[in-house]
Amino acid sequence: MRELVVLGTASQVPTRTRNHNGYLLRWDGEGLLFDPGEGTQRQMIHAGVSTNMITRICLTHVHGDHCFGLPGVLSRMALDAVPHPVHLHYPSTGGDMVRALVSVSTPGIDLRLHPHGEAGAVAEGLEVRPLKHRIETYGYRLAEPDGRTLLPERLQAAGISGPDAGRLQRQGSLGGVQLEDVSVARPGQRFAFVMDTAPCPGAEELADGADLLVAESTFADDDAGLAGQYRHLTAGQAGELAARSGARTLVLTHFSSRYGDDASLLLAQAGARAGSAAVIAAEDLQRIPFPRRRRLSHGPALRPGPVDATKPRPSASPVSLGGHS
């Protein structure tokens, strides 16, 4: 299961239909909660999301609309007796705010704090890059390692079947047959979370090749002056980010209340500059499935050989972020 559950889409001021920020990425056995703003606990109830799903909480920065929901979420996790460790990632300069928010939450969970102060990996498969906002801010990127997909017809031609197919995957070669001879490259899926930033190299690095890019779209293009003043993206800039990075799906969010509950203008402006990316203006409680894997060319056929064989099912290797039970 890989999907994005949108819990809130408003920026500083919520509206009647838009809660403050909150995004749960379900990634195989992991649940990454990004930027839980005020009211996130209640939004989780409406969305049918259990606190037991959460294994990591990732804060881009400590402005209130991105973190004031943290005490409620942690307290609910304690009430629900969540049994596994919960890892909390945040910029190191926001440590005082994070500790204050944690201090007013109900104790009882195994909460592990992970401050970061530079670009790099913060867990297996999970990286951060600095963004350009008014306070220290980092975006997140989750990447599955590249792998290979076995081709049943090539396995059959090479005379490999049953358990031998698994041995070939693990070992890289078997009986003179190389893994590359009977498989094609399978690019790992990539997720990027870019929030509260002016255009900057960090945003570009996070979005590069993303299958699913979540990006703030606080202002319309006509309000580019305000976006520059407060260091936010316009809708058109979010679209340009998706186009330049080769992102497949762009999810717009973090909308200013000045546009009410209608994001159609922002959607149109982003879409006009997003290139081939599909563009979605997120709505509260929306569930967005991960795009299907990219289509791959099978390349030149392997010369046929003897032996019959079964047709093993191609298997994907899920990413383990590590650090939890």
Positions marked active-site? 65
Q: Is 313 exposed, middle or buried (0-12, 13-18, 19+ CB in 10 A)?
A: exposed
Give the 3-state secondary structure of residue 289: strand
* Phi, psi angles (nearest 5°) of residue 50: -85, 145
Q: Is 270 exposed, middle or buried (0-12, 13-18, 19+ CB in 10 A)?
A: buried
Tell me which H or E stretch contains 103: helix 95-103
d(CA 154, CA 129): 41
- What residue spans of 114-251 are helical by DSSP H? 152-158, 163-171, 201-207, 224-230, 235-245
